[in-house]
């Protein structure tokens, strides 16, 4: 279980070169969902709130409960060129790329950027990138997008 003290001692503290954004960063693993996942706790004046840590710990404990909804969304969001590869996409692994825990965000309290990678042609691979925003332990929005740093609509 993660704690504020553990974050402050074990994570890397990163202050943005421009602006006033700052984060604590680590790269945990989620067995079966990619090699490494970038985890960011946004902070203010090097402070993290207990509710941020609680949100992450809860997600870590229950993340498999959200997978069916995410997988279902991916299947429904396939583009016309991907429909004939639906079985290949369905069977490819879902990987967790980024988890962000914002500091005082009223829209969402956890963001998961995840996706799938599949062979489009012999040597060409294609990515499906998904941004999932959570609020109070439930999925608020899921959106497929190229620019996963931008908030969902």
Residue-level pLDDT, tens digit, the chain, 153 residues: 899 999 999 999 999 877 778 999 999 999 889 888 999 999 999 999 999 999 999 999 999 999 999 999 999 999 988 888 899 899 999 999 999 999 999 999 999 999 999 887 777 888 999 999 999 999 999 999 999 999 998
Q: What is the pTM of this model?
A: 0.92
Question: Is 31 within a domain?
Answer: yes
Question: Is 153 within a domain?
Answer: no
Convert 87-104 to b/e letters by CB count within 10 Å (16 or more is b): eebeebebbbbebbbbbe
Question: Is 111 within a domain?
Answer: yes
Domain count, the chain: 1
Domain that holds residue 102: 4-144
CB 40 within 8 A of CB 101: yes
Question: Is 74 within a domain?
Answer: yes
Question: Is 36 within a domain?
Answer: yes
Question: Is 149 within a domain?
Answer: no
């Amino acid at each position: 279980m993660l704690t504020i003290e553990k974050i402050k001692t074990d994570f890397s503290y990163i202050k943005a070169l421009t602006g006033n954004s700052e984060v604590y960063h680590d790269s945990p693993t989620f067995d079966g969902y990619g090699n490494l996942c970038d985890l960011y706790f946004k902070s203010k004046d090097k402070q993290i709130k207990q509710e941020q840590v609680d949100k992450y710990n809860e997600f870590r404990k229950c993340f498999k409960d959200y997978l069916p909804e995410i997988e279902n969304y991916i299947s429904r969001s396939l583009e016309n060129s991907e429909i004939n590869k639906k079985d290949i996409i369905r069977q490819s692994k879902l990987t967790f790329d980024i988890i962000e825990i914002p500091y005082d965000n009223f829209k969402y309290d956890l963001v998961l950027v995840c996706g799938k990678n599949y062979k489009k042609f012999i040597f060409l691979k294609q990515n499906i990138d998904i941004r999932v925003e959570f609020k109070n332990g439930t999925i608020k929005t899921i959106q497929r997008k190229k620019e996963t740093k931008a908030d969902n609509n």
